Structure 1
Amino acid sequence: MSSAASGAGASGAGGSGAGASGANASLPGDPLGGRRAVLVWGIGVAVYFVAVIFRTSLGVAGLDAADRFHVNASALSTFSILQLLVYAGMQIPVGLMVDRLGTKKVLTLGVVLFSAGQLGFALSPSYGTALASRALLGWGDAMTFISVLRLGSRWFPARRGPLIAQVAALFGMAGNLVSTVVIARSLHGIGWTRTFAGSSLAGVVVLVLLLLFLKDHPEGHEPAPAAHAGGAYVRRQIAASWREPGTRLGMWVHFTTQFPAMVFLLLWGMPFLVEAQGLSRGTAGELLTLVVLSNMVVGLVYGQLIARHHEARLPLALGTVGATAALWGAVVAYPGQHAPIWLLITLCVVLGACGPASMIGFDFSRPANPPERQGTASGITNMGGFVASMTTLLAVGVLLDATGDNYRIAFSSVFVLEALGVVQILRLRSRAAHRERDHLVASRVEAVHVTV
């Protein structure tokens, strides 16, 4: 996209108080989209789809992993914590790589790494080698989503940004669905090694498609030449992105909304439903699947709402946080040994909204930054939810060991991070809204100059 189109990001992603008509106006230099755009972007989404299958496969294999490697709750949580630590730590470096090297090179490296990690996890003879494999998987996984967001901004008009991002996330959740349905059944059908080794072949398939058909941008929409690499360039990119209130607001929205569902799906949902709630593995798997299905439906609804009514971004995000806290609290505090199944079903439906709500974070950071900083800004935003997830995964594991597997106490750690995130969102919202209106006015002025 040209710099003129970067202003369209302010309109495409929306601004508080901006009118829908102004927000949906295309600016000169916007890519047109079309079938070619869908094909190229679809290959990037396929890579992300496979990455999410690999990322979430441990969520349905947690109990099997504990038996296979003879580890307790804290050690089991270390698998996911290390994976997310690598993922979160790589977000800003990956954003810089995408801004400088382009999408295709970064995605190619990501596929090689996460496929090697999945295969290594299948063949690991010990806890230590399995940890190293999950770290490698997290490293490759970290390179996918930011690249897909960048690919969408290069191939589609800016006004499509919110919906394109939500659809990408929807396909990611479809990958989660494969984990909860296919991987779970395969584990008990053909065993650990064949399941994880066989799934790693999906990485080879998407690698071939990526090398043959993916292009960073359409003809005529080449990005400006990148600045010389070096420490000064890195510092400028990070500092300029961080100075924007919209980037910081996006990070805290992502931080606050994503982690409850991530913690539930990535590791602790299955043990909680089986060990604390007395459900069978089959029923627990169905509830995890419900979270994923709810996510996919809500993602489409949120994407359409935000694309048409940009002022709905913050109410949707905060409303999701409030609903999640209320249902989580109701389950944790329910009198008696087990919560009723209807309450667990309601919790899972509400948890499904967490992923789409976290995508709203990018709808704050995207219009705050020009195209040459989109990768870096997205990396900062994406880091938020994974830092929160990693912190909560660790807290739950430690509290379970310390309290003798008391899930009520362990799961209460969710409320601490939600409260922190809400405070930061409320603190930054006014500054981000004012700054976004300034960007919108500037983009309209630039569009007039380009047209004239």
Structure 2
Amino acid sequence: MREAPATRTVALVWGVALLTYMVAVFHRSSLAVAGLEASDRFGISAAQLATFTMLQLLVYAGMQIPVGLLVDRFGSRSVMLAGTVMLVVAQTAFALADTYALALLARTLVGIGDALTFICVLRLVSRWFAPLRVPFVTQVTGTLGQLGAVGAAVPMTWALGRWGWTTAYLAAAALGLVLAIATLLVVHDSPDDRNLRGPRLSLSAVGASLAASWSHPGTRLGFWMHFTTQFSSTALSLLWGYPFLVRGEGRSPHEAGLLLSLMIVAVMASGPVLGWLIGRHPWHRSSMVLGIVWSIVAVWTVVLLWPGPAPLWMLVVLVLVAGIGGPASMIGFDLGRTSNPVERLASASGIINQAGFTASLILVVAVGVILDWQTPGGSTAYTPEAFRWAMSAQYVLWALGLAQIWRYRRKARAVIDRTQLEAGVLA
């Protein structure tokens, strides 16, 4: 039996991986508070503005399975380094872009760099921590990673106002250079290997591996849990939260920024709690997700039916409850972890991770299309009524996701050994 790695070494590897993920989240979210500035800079409509995030999410979701296979083949360290460099290039291009087409290309590259990061971090956690600690550390990783979104919500707002578009985004790009150096110096794929390489995979082997992962109802349950929990908070944090709060609910830019930051507070507060709960009660993971989704649905319903702008306290409740959906989506990865052998872990995680971002992509585009339909005058003409129509698109996604969670929850429980699961054997 090999010796457990030193605590300091584990902390260093996890710390650098966590910081890399935080910076990726920062880049992913950096357009959220710049939507109105982007509309003015490029002279674009709501649907065109939504295309930035649509392409970013489309690329991110589409890359998840290939990235999972890359991580299984080349290891977390190499793939994460490539993602960090890609994000530096992407944000530099976005800072200098002076046309809509160039800006679209830059945001596409952001999606690629972002996609090359998170699954690497999940794989590192599974390699460096004991199985019974993985659910908690995974949740803490996802929770602390959202500090990157805080950086996009408040400091980025300040930087845009103080320095302007180009300097603010160039400063954001510089963060990745530091993380690339740290990854080279600190990160190892496992306690025994600096660079862990998997076997070469033929197309037939890739197909068989993905089919085996997808055929397990636990993977499918994790997929639909991720699909249903994440899209509301993602759409708010990436693009539509700021315009919704300012134009739809009549809040000041300062209040909107604080509300979006509160959503990150909810993520950070609830993540470790959920990690502890699923570690103690893994059989009830789907029950936790169902309860959280119904809570999000209920709060959104109150806000959208409120006569006139909702009061500030109600919007605080909205962002806090919606924010819990982010950590709840991480429960899907734990289903994938306990439903697949370690050699398929990254590819199974890729299958699951594309779910929430696919749903987020659909919602982001739907909101933009509905806003343009309701307010053809552009972003300056957005009305509260238009936002009520647009945000109601979420109900279609919730209905689909809840039905599928209930369906695969029964199938997964039929094939998973509860005793082994609760004893930590399934890891």
Aligned twin of 1:20: none
Aligned twin of 2:243: 271
Distance 1:124 1:263 in 2: 24
Give CA-to-partner distance per residue, 1:263-297, whole Å, 9 cap, x none.
01100000011111111100100000000111100
Aligned twin of 2:154: 181
Aligned twin of 1:204: 177
CA displacement at 1:129 relative to structure 2: 0.3
| Structure of greater relative contact order (alpha carbons < 8 Å, 6+ residues apart) | 1
Distance 1:30 1:129 in 2: 51
Asked if the contact 1:31/1:221 (under 8 Å) is kept, the reply is no
Alignment of 1:23-102 (within 5 A): 34-102=7-75
Asked if the contact 1:33/1:156 (under 8 Å) is kept, the reply is no
Q: Are residues 1:374 and 2:354 paired?
A: no
Q: Which among 295, 298, 308 is matched to residue 323 of structure 1?
A: 295
Identity %: 45
Distance 1:30 1:421 in 2: 43
Distance 1:134 1:166 in 2: 27
CA displacement at 1:331 relative to structure 2: 0.8
SS in 2 for 1:369: coil
Aligned twin of 2:379: none
Aligned twin of 2:315: 344
Q: Are residues 1:363 and 2:343 paired?
A: no
Q: Which among 137, 157, 174 is matched to residue 110 of structure 2?
A: 137
Q: Do the aligned partners of residues 284 and 262 (structure 1) sit closer, same or farther apart at CA in structure 2, a change above 3 Å counting?
A: same
CA displacement at 1:170 relative to structure 2: 1.3
Give CA-to-partner distance per residue, 1:370-414, whole Å, 9 cap, x none.
110000000001000000000000100000111124011110000
Distance 1:221 1:108 in 2: 13
What is the identity, as a one-letter code, of the residue corresponding to 1:148?
Answer: V
What is the identity, as a one-letter code, of the residue corresponding to 1:292?
Answer: I
Distance 1:407 1:222 in 2: 49
Give CA-to-partner distance per residue, 1:118-165, whole Å, 9 cap, x none.
111101011100000000010010011100000000000111111111
Distance 1:212 1:196 in 2: 26
What is the identity, as a one-letter code, of the residue corresponding to 1:241?
Answer: S
Alignment of 1:49-448 (within 5 A): 49-219=22-192, 226-336=198-308, 338-404=309-375, 405=382, 406-437=386-417, 440=420
Distance 2:425 2:51 in 1: 51
**Consecutive unaligned residues in structure 1, runs of 5 or more:** 1-27, 448-452
SS in 2 for 1:59: coil
Runs of 4+ in structure 1 deviating by more than 4 angstroms, as ranges, are 28-33, 220-223, 443-447
Asked if the contact 1:249/1:425 (under 8 Å) is kept, the reply is yes
SS in 1 for 2:30: helix
Q: Do the aligned partners of residues 288 and 444 (structure 1) sit closer, same or farther apart at CA in structure 2, a change above 3 Å counting?
A: closer
Asked if the contact 1:45/1:148 (under 8 Å) is kept, the reply is yes
Q: Do the aligned partners of residues 446 and 309 (structure 1) sit closer, same or farther apart at CA in structure 2, a change above 3 Å counting?
A: closer
Aligned length: 417
- How large is the RMSD of aligned CA atoms in angstroms? 2.0
CA displacement at 1:308 relative to structure 2: 1.6
**Consecutive unaligned residues in structure 2, runs of 5 or more:** 376-381
Give CA-to-partner distance per residue, 1:56-107, whole Å, 9 cap, x none.
0000111111111111100000000000000000000000000011011100
Give CA-to-partner distance per residue, 1:404-441, whole Å, 9 cap, x none.
24011110000110110000000001221232218938
Asked if the contact 1:227/1:233 (under 8 Å) is kept, the reply is no
Distance 1:67 1:294 in 2: 32
CA displacement at 1:33 relative to structure 2: 7.0
TM norm structure 1:
0.89
TM norm structure 2:
0.94
Asked if the contact 1:90/1:142 (under 8 Å) is kept, the reply is yes
What is the identity, as a one-letter code, of the residue corresponding to 1:124?
Answer: A
Asked if the contact 2:94/2:169 (under 8 Å) is kept, the reply is yes
Q: Do the aligned partners of residues 147 and 31 (structure 1) sit closer, same or farther apart at CA in structure 2, a change above 3 Å counting?
A: farther
Distance 1:125 1:437 in 2: 57
CA displacement at 1:367 relative to structure 2: 0.5
